[in-house]
Every structure is written in C-alpha cells, then in structure tokens.
C-alpha cells in the first residue's frame, strides 16, 4: 500500500500527510458514492482528507471514517488528518464556533486537524450556490473571523487553523492581528498557475501552502483538461513512463508544498499516490517552469463576472 510522506507544519507543531484526498466532486457525487470512494481511498493508503461545509461531503466522509474504524482499516481516528473549512456565510466572530461544531457533527468527530477560512470574503446571506449574487458579497472582517478561529483551536475543536485563497495582502492583515498565525494557506496551484510570488511570501512568513486543483480540476465545472492534455507534461510523461497527472502532481510536490487531489476512481486514486518514488530532472523542471501562466479559475467561477477587487488580487 502506497503512503504519502509527512510534512511538518512549522510553528503549530503538527505533521500532515503531504498528499490528501479532495472530496469536492462534479457533478456532485451522491453521499453513498462519496462514502465508498473514501473507503477505497483509505484502503489505497490515503490518510489525509480535505472537505468543507459547502462541499456537502462532510457527512459521507464521517460515515466513511466510522465504517473504516468498524472494518479495522484504521486503528483510531487519530490515524487520519482531517481538514474542513468555514463557509463565508458564517464569518462573524460569534458564528465561527457554532460553524465548526456543525462540521464536527456532520463528520461525527470530536476535533478537526485543520480548520481553514474557505474564502477571503463574507456572504451576507446563507448561500452555497456559485456564482454568488453580487449584492451579498462583502469584505471580510479579518479580526472578527480570526478571533473566532483562534477560539476553535483554544477549545480543542481543531488542532490547527489556517486560511484558503488568501493573497499576500490578506495574509499580512491576518498576521498583524493574529495571536495564533495561520499554519496553512490552501490555494489553487499547478504547472499552469504556479503561484510563485505567493509561495515566496508564504515561505518567508512560515505559512505552509497546500495546493488544490493540482490536475486543473479536470472534468469539473470549475476546471478543464488543460493540465491532463498539456503538451509539455505529456511529453515528459511519455519519456518517463508516467501519466500527465502524475507529472503535474510530482512537479507540485517538488515545489515544497502539500497537495489535495480528488479522484473517486479506484485506479486513478492509486495512480495519484504513486508520485513519491521518482523525481523530475532539472531539465524537466525547467521546461515546466517556463509554461505560460493563466490566472486561477476557481475564484472567478465562484464570483462569476463580478468585479470584486476589494480583497482579492492577482496573486490567487
Ligand atoms: P483536481 O484534484 O485537480 O482534479 C479532480 C478531477 O480530476 C476530477 O474530475 C477527477 O476525476 C480527475 N482526476 C483525478 N485523478 C486523475 C488522473 N490521474 N488522471 C485524469 N483525471 C484525474 O481538482 P479539484 O477537485 O478542484 O481539487 C482537489 C481538491 O481540492 C478538491 O476536491 C477539494 O477538496 C479541494 N479544493 C479546495 C478549494 C478551496 O477553495 N480551498 C477549491 C477547489 C478544490 P475522477 O474522480 O473521475 O478521477
């Protein structure tokens, strides 16, 4: 059984499997399909799972964990690293603890390993559908929401806290008021959106980056096939006897970040774990680093065509 190596998360003192299984699917998987896929993933060796209140995958993940314990696939819940995220409708200070408790109920767990602010914005209404209507988009009060996040960690509801889709500017604001600095910034990253400036900033500040959509979210409504059909990646894959998906994920891994990739397909989830016993050559890394870049697509698919430049800048 293949296993991902562990990565240290710096100041918070945690370690985390460097590859996690994403659970956001398109078209949305029914709960039973998601549960069975997660059980397969545990059998394949995945020990890190990425969910969010808004994905609707917390419940099937919780059921899969309970089933894996019953089946003896894992000895205890502590064998897993579970990340979930605070949705943007609950970002006032007094909403954060109730929101994590709701996620914990969905997951049938007592604690999370990592709790992230999902997006650097606030929604003035309870809504999960994207793109969100412009009228309900508001700037995030970072002091208010971060105090709520810190309370979650102090109460033992999560071992660590972090953010997602935060630019250097938003991170700077967070660090200025934080008593507990964010351990992680989870952002879109792959060979076609390499996040060089953001990575430099996070390295300097000791904030670990987790890359989502490492395969360009192939086949989803928010992504496309530009990674799995990228000529340069395909060329390297052929020469190395790998798939383009593996080359993309290996490149991401070699940048010193962790990864969350989603596959509910038994063969592909195994394939995605097989990136740790080989490496790219200097020349291959150089070719990939020269690939033309395009702006991350997830944020625009959430925000639609809105000009929401208030808090998001070019870096995410
Ligand atoms: P991704 O992991 O880049 O791509 C997933 C898509 O690629 C799925 O359609 C999957 O289909 C397909 N796929 C998986 N392995 C493959 C392979 N070896 N070859 C070809 N196709 C393959 O994109 P993602 O789901 O957007 O990102 C991963 C996870 O990151 C999400 O599930 C979620 O947990 C997290 N995420 C977080 C945020 C955020 O705002 N923080 C945003 C987006 C995603 P099959 O299942 O059929 O294999």
Residues with a known catalytic role: 55
What is the C-alpha to C-alpha distance for residues 242 and 277, in angstroms, rounded to an integer?
A: 12
Judge whether residue 85 has pLDDT over 90.
yes
The 10s digit of each residue's pLDDT in 122-153 is: 998 887 777 778 888 899 999 999 999 999 99
Mean pLDDT of 5-26: 95
57-61, 114-118, 197-201, 219-223: lowest mean pLDDT where?
Answer: 219-223
214 lines ligand 1 (CB under 6 A): yes
244 lines ligand 1 (CB under 6 A): no
Write down the pLDDT at residue 296: 73
What is the C-alpha to C-alpha distance for residues 260 and 49, in angstroms, rounded to an integer?
A: 8
C-alpha dist (Å) from residue 166 to 16, 54, 70, 161, 170: 20, 18, 38, 14, 6
147 alpha carbon – ligand 1 mean position (Å): 31
268 lines ligand 1 (CB under 6 A): yes
In the numeric block, the tokens 């314990």 are attached to 69
Atom 36, ligand 1: which residue's CA is nearest? 212
64-78, 122-136, 171-185, 257-271: lowest mean pLDDT where?
Answer: 122-136
22 alpha carbon – ligand 1 mean position (Å): 6
What is the C-alpha to C-alpha distance for residues 116 and 186, in angstroms, rounded to an integer?
A: 8
186 lines ligand 1 (CB under 6 A): yes
The 10s digit of each residue's pLDDT in 158-211 is: 999 999 999 999 999 999 999 999 999 999 999 999 999 999 999 999 999 999
74 alpha carbon – ligand 1 mean position (Å): 24
What is the C-alpha to C-alpha distance for residues 235 and 169, in angstroms, rounded to an integer?
A: 37
């Amino acid at each position: 059984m293949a296993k991902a190596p562990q990565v240290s998360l710096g100041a918070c003192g945690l370690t985390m499997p460097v590859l996690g299984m994403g659970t956001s699917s398109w078209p949305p998987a029914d709960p039973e399909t998601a549960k069975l896929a997660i059980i397969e993933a545990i059998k394949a060796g995945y020990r890190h799972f990425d969910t969010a209140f808004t994905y609707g995958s917390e419940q099937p993940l919780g059921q899969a964990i309970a089933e894996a314990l019953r089946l003896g696939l894992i000895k205890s819940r502590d064998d897993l690293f579970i990340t979930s995220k605070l949705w943007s409708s609950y970002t006032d200070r007094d909403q954060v603890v109730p929101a994590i408790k709701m996620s914990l109920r969905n997951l049938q767990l007592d604690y999370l390993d990592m709790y992230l602010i999902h997006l650097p914005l606030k929604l003035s209404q309870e809504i999960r559908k994207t793109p969100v209507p412009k009228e309900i988009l508001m700037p995030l009060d970072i002091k208010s929401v971060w105090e709520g996040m810190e309370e979650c960690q102090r109460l033992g509801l999560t071992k660590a806290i972090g953010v997602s889709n935060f630019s250097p500017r938003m991170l700077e604001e967070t660090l200025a008021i934080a008593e507990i600095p964010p351990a992680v910034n989870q952002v879109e990253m792959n060979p076609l959106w390499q996040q060089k400036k953001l990575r430099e900033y996070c390295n300097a500040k000791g904030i670990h980056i987790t890359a989502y959509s490492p395969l360009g979210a192939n086949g989803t409504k928010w992504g496309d096939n530009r990674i799995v059909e990228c000529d340069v990646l395909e060329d390297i894959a052929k020469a190395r006897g790998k798939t383009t998906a593996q080359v993309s994920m290996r490149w991401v891994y070699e940048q010193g970040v962790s990864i969350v990739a989603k596959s509910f397909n038994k063969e592909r989830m195994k394939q995605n774990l097989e990136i740790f016993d080989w490496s790219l050559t200097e020349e291959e890394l150089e070719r990939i680093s020269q690939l033309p870049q395009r702006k991350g697509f997830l944020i625009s698919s959430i925000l639609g065509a809105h000009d929401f430049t208030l808090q998001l800048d070019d870096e995410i």
